[in-house]
Structures are given as structure tokens and as C-alpha cells.
Amino acid sequence: AVVSTQSTGFIRAGIYLILEKLRVITLRNLFKKIYIITSSFQMDVANFKNALNWLGLEDVDLDDTECVLANMINDGFIKGYLSEAHKKMVVSKVTAFPALKDFL
């Protein structure tokens, strides 16, 4: 969207990396809201896909959504794992979404 079309200007201004980090944090917070709404430790990946589509990211499919979730798990923003066979994400019962202060 705007970040990709204006990336050169953001790089020159020195704020591109900040915007990318904010994008990841925003997605993490959206996914945390889905976790709170579903009140389940096992969530369909389709729920996350639908949320991304609702944001206006119409070209996102299940594979793209799984990729975003896998990267967030790998980076420590989400504690859990993806079940490819069942198309579900399973999160930790203790601290599924660690505090942001651990990442900033």
C-alpha cells in the first residue's frame, strides 16, 4: 500500500524500518484480538486470513497467512506452532503473546 509505493521517500527520511516494525506489531495485535475473541488455544488459519482480507489485503490467501504467522512465531511475537494438516495455529496456554517490551 502506501509504504510500498512511498518506500524511497521513507528510506530517505530514515523511517522505513520503523514503519515495517509498526506493521509487524499491528498484525500481532490484530492476531491477539482474534485469540481473545475466539478464546481458544487452537484457531483456524482461515480466521486470520479473513482478518487480513477485512483490512483490505484482498490478495492474501491461506498460504500467505501461514507464512506471516510462521514468521511471527519464529520471531517470538507469538508462542505456538502451526498445524499444516489441520490448518490451525496452536498457541501456548501460558503466554501466547509475549509483552511487546520484550521486542522493543
Report pLDDT for 9.
87
pLDDT above 90 for 34: yes
Is residue 26 predicted with pLDDT exceeding 90?
A: yes
Sheet bearing 88-91, strands edge to edge: 42-44, 88-91, 80-83
Strand stretches in the chain, DSSP E: 42-44, 80-83, 88-91
- Cβ neighbours around 21 below 10 Å, total: 12
pLDDT tens digits, 47-97: 999 999 998 888 999 999 999 999 999 999 999 999 999 999 999 999 999
Q: For 98, list phi and psi in degrees, rounded to 5.
A: -60, 155
